[in-house]
Amino acid sequence: MTTIPPIPSETTRQTLTRALAAANIAVKLDEANQDTTAIVDAYQRSILLLDEVISRHDVSEELERLAAVRTTYRHRIEVLLLSRTVPITQQQSTETLIGTAESASKSWKFPKCTETAKKARRWTKLLCGCTRDGSIMI
């Protein structure tokens, strides 16, 4: 009786490549001031993949740099959510604008998604190995 060899899991390098591709798409969308939802989605996919890479290995200098990149993307998501979704008026104090991205996300109102943003979101999902329902393939 022959046994079927197990399917090899994705290598760390492949996962890292997908994470960087998602980050690259997010940065390009961000620079072009595209749809905030697409930008945040791309950054979040990159963060998930970076978390996966970091969890596979012991702490080293390279992993510390990846963790720093991941933290930078998380901060950028917070800035995007606060700056593009919460209208700022002179009457609002700084304290009312300070909060978590989670609380800001409850009041999201996004403009109609452009065709470019839709394509970018599809490509990000393909590059990151996401299924149609948005879950990450492992």
User: Is the residue at 123 inside a domain?
Assistant: yes
Supply the pTM of this predicted model: 0.44
User: Is the residue at 6 inside a domain?
Assistant: no
Predicted local confidence at residue 2, as pLDDT: 52
User: Is the residue at 56 inside a domain?
Assistant: yes
User: Is the residue at 1 inside a domain?
Assistant: no
User: Is the residue at 87 inside a domain?
Assistant: yes
CA pseudo-torsion sign 31, 34, 35, 41: negative
For residue 46, what are the domain limits? 12-128
User: Is the residue at 57 inside a domain?
Assistant: yes
User: Is the residue at 122 inside a domain?
Assistant: yes
User: Is the residue at 21 inside a domain?
Assistant: yes
Q: Tell me the average pLDDT of the chain.
A: 68
Contacts of 127 by beta carbon, 8 Å cutoff, 6+ apart: 18, 21, 22, 25
Contacts of 18 by beta carbon, 8 Å cutoff, 6+ apart: 49, 127, 128, 129
Contacts of 131 by beta carbon, 8 Å cutoff, 6+ apart: 137
Total domains in the chain come to 1
Select the highest-mean-pLDDT range: 10-19, 21-30, 97-106, 120-129: 21-30
Given a contact cutoff of 8 angstroms between Cβ atoms, the answer to whether 49 and 99 are in contact is: no
If you search the block for the tokens 């919460």, which residue do you land on?
86
**How far is residue 7 from each of residues 20, 28, 58, 112, measured CA to CA in Å?**
24, 34, 24, 42
pLDDT digits (tens, 9 = 90+) for 14-67: 888 898 898 899 899 889 887 888 888 888 999 898 888 878 766 577 778 878
